[in-house]
Amino acid sequence: MSRHLASMILAVAMLTGACAPRYTASDYTMTEPAGPYRLASGDRLRIIVFGQDNLSNIYAVDGSGRIAMPLINTIEAQGRTTQQLAQAIEAKLRGGYLREPKVSVEVDTYRPFFVLGEVTNSGQFPFVNGMTVQTAVAIAGGFTPRGQRSSAEVTRQIEGQTVTATVPITYPVQPGDTIVIKERWF
């Protein structure tokens, strides 16, 4: 085997290995979220520290997956549930600031989702609970005349991995998803 051919095979292998796993509509359930909602960059959180009005506020999860609060500085929010984050904040506040802190965390605004491809208005949109691909397309102004109306590609982060699946338009959308409407072939 020539050196040139070997380097081409290696380059193709590296490129295909870096691509996100792809699934079809028959196995799209693999991308269903498991368990409670996990926080990520772009989420805005309402944090209430009972009896401490100066600490209770709305905090944004920054690009590094952290939030910054008075007294305790930054704390990791990425990948945690709201309950886990509340417990972590309580633990930090208990470390020399408050005697028995009680903290409540809820999502004020979910991170946006994205719609691309054969829709009237591609872009970033605010997430709404209970949304499907079909309602996401409606928010993006509907299908173009060439838009495929029976399925879409959804890309989602699952356990740190980027997964892309071809799903029916009744598939549930999660915050941070990227939806691509393909062109249909007549």
pLDDT tens digits, residue range 122-169?
999 999 989 999 999 999 999 999 999 999 999 998 877 899 999 999
Position 72 scores a pLDDT of 92
Q: What is the CATH number of domain 44-109?
A: 3.30.1950.10
Q: Across the beta sheet with 44-49, what order do the strands follow?
A: 57-60, 44-49, 103-109
Question: Is it true that domain 21-34+111-181 has CATH number 3.10.560.10?
Answer: yes
Q: What is the pTM of this model?
A: 0.75
Domain ranges of the chain: 21-34+111-181, 44-109
Q: How far is CA 154 from CA 28, 56, 66, 90, 164, in A?
A: 9, 36, 26, 36, 6
pLDDT at 120 over 70: yes
- On whether the CB atoms of residues 126 and 140 are closer than 8 A, the answer is no
pLDDT digits (tens, 9 = 90+) for 54-86: 999 999 999 999 999 999 999 999 999 999 999
Distance CA 22, CA 35 (A): 22
Residue carrying the six token digits 């399925």: 151
Amino acid of residue 110: Y
Residue 139: CB atoms within 10 A of its CB come to: 18
